[in-house]
Amino acid sequence: MPRLPVRPRPAALPPPAPRPGEGNGEAGRADGLAEAGITIVDWIDERTSLTGSVRWLFFRKVPKGTNWFYTLGSATLFAFLSQAVTGVFLAMFYRPDAAGGAYESIRYITDRAFLGQFVRGMHLWGASVMVVLVFLHMGRTFLFGAYKYPRELNWVIGVVLLILTLVMALTGYLLPFDQRAYWATVVATNITATGPLIGPYLGDLLRAGPEFGATTLSRFYSIHMLVVPGLIAALIGAHLYLVTKLGTTAPPWKKAEPPTELRGTQT
């Protein structure tokens, strides 16, 4: 049977354009990887709904007059994350042994481990930087009046974070277990034990007994590596949630402007 002639394609329906990267192997693989990444992200977001949480956390209004003083909190968070990462690498080589293992492990990290001196230096100086940043952040919050209603709970959490940061600095100072660290910690624990009411009990808790001994190093190591970082991470999460929910305060020298309708009525 004779075939009917194929009708020409209408001009309004041109053939589909080639996809980007077709005919070029490198670009095609790159596009495929990009599409695979997008697909994976969509798959995760469909099951976790993280997009809404990320948008709620990052895309929010900020008051007029926001300046570099408002970055002290983020800088403190970055310092904490740096301390956490470098602390993990240091813990891979450190031994909390009061009979010489602690000091020798610090010597090994400093003298022989790959980039050990660099990582230890970051952790050592990062502790001082974090303490300074916490104080600056608290000072900025107080001077700007950001502790007032409805942010009182956030201020209390910040005070607790300040105390925990100082505890981290104290417990980490003993870990090299050299003469300076030993006697400085003895003085610090004795001062703590002279506090009213709970002072003696707190001193015994830190020393792991009535006297400063080998068990004290293990007690300080566990507090420094497990207890305090977990508390700090949990409180930072609560702190960021309240900051996002309640917003930030404008600088005290910025006066609130009345709405446009109210200004028109007044004039």
Q: Over the chain, what HEC string results?
A: CCCCCCCCCCCCCCCCCCCCCCCCHHHHHHHHHHHHHHHHHHHHHHHHCHHHHHHHHHCCCCCCCCCHHHHHHHHHHHHHHHHHHHHHHHHCCCCCCCCCHHHHHHHHHHHCCCCHHHHHHHHHHHHHHHHHHHHHHHHHHHHCCCCCCCCHHHHHHHHHHHHHHHHHHHHHHHCCCCHHHHHHHHHHHHHHHCCCCCHHHHHHHHHCCCCCCHHHHHHHHHHHHHHHHHHHHHHHHHHHHHHHHHCCCCCCCCCCCCCHHHHHHHC
Give me the pLDDT at residue 13, please: 58
Report whether pLDDT(239) > 70.
Answer: yes
How many of the other CB atoms lie within 10 Å of CB of 22?
Answer: 10
Please give the share of the chain, as a percent, with pLDDT higher than 70: 82
**pTM for the full predicted model:** 0.80
**pLDDT (average), residues 161-180:** 95
54-88 per-position pLDDT tens digit: 888 788 888 888 889 999 999 999 999 999 999 99
- Mean local confidence (pLDDT), 124-136: 97
Confidence label for 49 from pLDDT (cuts 50, 70 and 90): confident
Q: What is the pLDDT of residues 87-111, one digit of tens each?
A: 999 999 999 998 889 999 999 999 9
Find where tokens 């469909």 sit. 46
Q: How far apart are CA 116 and CA 245, in angstroms?
A: 41
Most confident of the following: 45-49, 59-63, 244-248:
244-248
Average pLDDT over residues 181-199: 93
| Mean pLDDT across 44-58 | 82
